[in-house]
Chain A
Amino acid sequence: MRWLGRLLFLALVWADVRASEGAEVFLGVTRSEVFRIPLGILYVVTPPDQAKYSSEIRTVLEGDLRRSQVFRVIHPPLVPELAGGETPSAELIKKAGRQDLQAAVWISFAQKGEELMLEGRVYDGKTGQMVMGKRYMGQAQHLRTVIHRFSDDIVFQYTGERGVAETRVVFSSSLTGSKELYLMDYDGYNVRKITGDRSLNLSPKWSPDGNWITYTSYRGGTPAIYTLDMATGRLSKTVGLPGLNISPAWSPSGGELAFASSRDGPTQIYRVDREGKALRRLTLDQSDNLSPTWSPTGAEIAFTSNRGGSPQIYMMNAAGTNVRRLTFSGDYNTSPSWSPKGVSIAYTCRVDGRLRICAISPDGATLARLTDGPGEDESPAWSPDGKHLIFSSTRLSRGDLFMMNADGTEMERLTFSGAKNNSPAWSP
């Protein structure tokens, strides 16, 4: 009966959301709450003097699993027998599973000096059978990474596709007065600075293998495109044409870099090979063309152009032919980002005078405005699983990063410095 009430309530809320959205339709790739797998952490066993880690492990893992959009995290009743530290018997798990618990997680953690060991097991709540078990070893300082790895492994076990808890985000920030690039974990933790030349470092993008970050920097006085090798820290200039060199984007194969340059007057889209050679101009009109984003197959490129008078999203094939306009609603649509699943292009739209995040299907048939509220939102970027968008917003500060589901739900603030944090890019 309570279930029925809950379902009815959800249906009403849903109807209400739909009604308020008017003709707009959500690109529904987010699993609704009721279809998620009920999961609970039964117990986190620690040595008596390390009990403080128990709640941190629980909090980080629950956050990861909730964001996975695969699981609904519930809190099973505490089973006192589990405190003994031994792996749980099928009977104990079934006892904890009274609340319709489908996946029951049991964790054993110990830290010794600089080393940690975390053993994670997932049991089927109905049968008590172990579904997966992993023992992770690493440095104590990498506890969050270890938990993220466990979460991604659980998501993989249940869906066949890894979660994104172990991914990172690079972004540009005015924290130190100039504009430097920073890295953070996908959940906003562990922020570290990766440039320090006190110039402007803008629009970072990952190479498809995650080994490089390519971005525009004014470090040499004029805006050129540089590539930072993440493993070695080596920085090289990739494109330094006269004028602007901005908005780089690697093709899905990593073999080609599309970018925009003003070397011929108006800003146009070009492409070069991996070494920055074999320059080819792709757009040929007299308007501004910039912010290229590749389709996941590499066959097409979406971009911003003001050839129709106002900035709009256009598409072309990767050779620059077959250009056609994708957005027609509103007079300011910029910074497209093609979903890694191919089904949606997120971009910055202006609605009622404010910048918002919108998403449109590549055939133009389905359009959705994903954000609302105070401030302005811009520069959306996809998570590698296509389930999340990260973007910058002035809704609570002068500029912080926020994450939300692909349909605009479950928005979460990730940075808190308010230092004009923008241009986020999600690692593969």
Chain B
Amino acid sequence: MRNRNQSFLLVIGGIGIALLLSGCPKKVETVRGTATVQEEKVTPPAEGMQPESAPMVEETLVGRDADASSIAKSLGDAYFDYDRYTIRDDARATLENNAHWLNGNPKARVKIEGHADERGTSEYNLALGERRAQSAKRFLTALGVDGSRLSTISYGEERPACADMIEGCYAKNRRVHFTIQ
């Protein structure tokens, strides 16, 4: 019985392969009435994107040292406590210095970058960085700097100033940084 079954399968299989070679039907082979061997072409989903190699637009990507001139010295970074955007006393002094420089250089337009350390989720850190940048901007405008000269952007935890996974480094990364536009 089994032999008869097997030869039956072989015959059917042979027909199936013949059909396959001649190119088409969906059901190639029938086995014992219920389950069948179905044929299927497998292609992964289309992925048409070509990673572009266009040069970047973003000015700060050239490197944080691009403005490491006298301007950078005039506009110091202000630091924050973990998960906070209130201006600390030490940051207050820095921002007062920055306001002084800005008031003495009324044509300068400045971008205020808010940053966070990496201990947090990336999306929440973007919101936190934005808060820090907005805090610094509010502080500067309260000291007489024209708000229209100040733009804000948050980089969250994506552009750390210091790369090690230690508190000393995290503290340096929770900052606002100023770039002249």
Contacts and interface: CB of A to CB of B under 8 A. Distances in A.
A142 B39 contact: no
B148 to A, nearest CB: 13
B154 interface: yes
B121 A335 contact: yes
Scoring B13, B38, B42 by chain A CB atoms within 10 A of each residue's CB, the highest score goes to B42
A222 B126 CA distance: 12
A21 interface: no
Contacts of A133: 29, 31, 35-38
B41 A203 contact: no
Contact of B43 (A142, A290, A398): A142
B83 A422 contact: no
B35 A130 contact: yes
A139 B127 CA distance: 46
Contacts of B158: 179, 200, 202
B55 A262 contact: no
Nearest to B54: A197
A196 B35 contact: no
A135 B40 contact: yes
A405 interface: no
Interface stretch (B45-53, B71-79, B94-102, B169-177): B45-53
Nearest to A121: B37
A422 B124 CA distance: 14
B56 to A, nearest CB: 4
Interface string B74-106: 000000000100000000000000000000000
Contact of B32 (A130, A178, A266, A267): A130
Nearest to A123: B35
Contacts of A376: 119
B52 A89 contact: no
A228 B122 contact: no
B123 interface: yes
Interface in B1-47: 2, 5-6, 9, 13, 28-29, 31-32, 34-47
Interface in B140-155: 152-155
Nearest to A335: B121
Contacts of B28: 135
Interface in B112-164: 119-124, 126-128, 130-131, 134, 152-155, 158-159
A288 interface: yes
Given A131-B35, A134-B40, A149-B40, A260 B47 contact: no
Contact of B58 (A86, A221, A231, A266): A221
Nearest to B29: A133
Contacts of B83: 310-311, 332
B42 A223 contact: no
Scoring B39, B49, B158 by chain A CB atoms within 10 A of each residue's CB, the highest score goes to B49
A183 B35 contact: no
B124 A311 contact: yes
Q: How large is the interface on B (under 10, 10 to 19, 20 to 34, 35 or more residues)?
A: 35 or more
Interface stretch (A51-59, A243-251, A360-368): A243-251
A102 interface: no
B65 interface: no
Nearest to A190: B44
A86 to B, nearest CB: 7
Contacts of B51: 180, 193-196
Contacts of A378: 121-122
Contacts of A193: 51
Contacts of B58: 199, 218-219, 221
Contacts of B155: 200
Interface in A192-227: 192-200, 202-203, 210, 218-223
Contacts of A89: 2, 5-6
B61 interface: yes
Contacts of A230: 45-49
Contacts of A139: 43
A179 B156 CA distance: 13
A199 B48 contact: no
Contact of A202 (B29, B40, B122): B122
Given A139-B43, A202-B126, A223-B154, 9 more contacts: A136-B39, A137-B42, A183-B47, A196-B52, A203-B122, A221-B58, A230-B49, A246-B126, A422-B122
Interface of A: 86-87, 89-91, 119, 121, 129-139, 142, 145-146, 149, 168, 172, 178-180, 183, 192-200, 202-203, 210, 218-223, 228-233, 235, 243-244, 246-247, 260, 262, 265-267, 288, 290-291, 304, 310-311, 332, 334-335, 348, 355, 376, 378-379, 394, 398, 422-423
16 contacts: A90-B2, A131-B35, A135-B28, A135-B37, A137-B42, A145-B44, A178-B56, A197-B52, A198-B55, A199-B61, A223-B153, A230-B47, A262-B134, A267-B126, A267-B131, A288-B131
What 3 A-B pairs have minimum CB-CB distances, sorted nearest first?
A196-B51, A133-B37, A233-B49
